[in-house]
Amino acid sequence: MKKNAMSVYYPNKDTPTRYEVSLSESGCKKGMVIGGMIGSKVPHPLGVPVGIVIGCLLGSILGKAD
């Protein structure tokens, strides 16, 4: 079997696993509220903003798709 010096890589077909994530707006809102509540318990000035951002990301990915 002969191999060519150049080969073409097709990312849509050649990747063995492909993940598609559908984001949820309602999950994002719920995650923001929960993250803000948990972040308010942390005794640090960045506790609330970081809690909101992390809660928003996790809620939009893990929440039900709209």
pLDDT tens by residue, 10-34: 777 766 776 778 888 999 999 999 9
Predicted pLDDT of residue 55: 93
Q: Enumerate long-range contacts of 31-38, CB under 8 Å, 24 or more apart.
A: 31/55, 31/56, 31/57, 31/58, 31/59, 31/60, 31/62, 31/63, 32/56, 32/59, 34/59, 35/59
**Residue pair 26/66 in contact by the 8 Å Cβ criterion:** yes
Name the amino acid, one letter, at 21.
V
Q: Considering the chain, what percentage of its residues have pLDDT values greater than 90?
A: 50
Residue 5 phi/psi, 5-degree rounding, is -70, -30
0.75 exceeded by pTM: no
Per-residue tokens: 38: 């948990």
Mean of the per-residue pLDDT values of the chain:
84
Query: Is the pLDDT reported for residue 57 higher than 70?
Result: yes
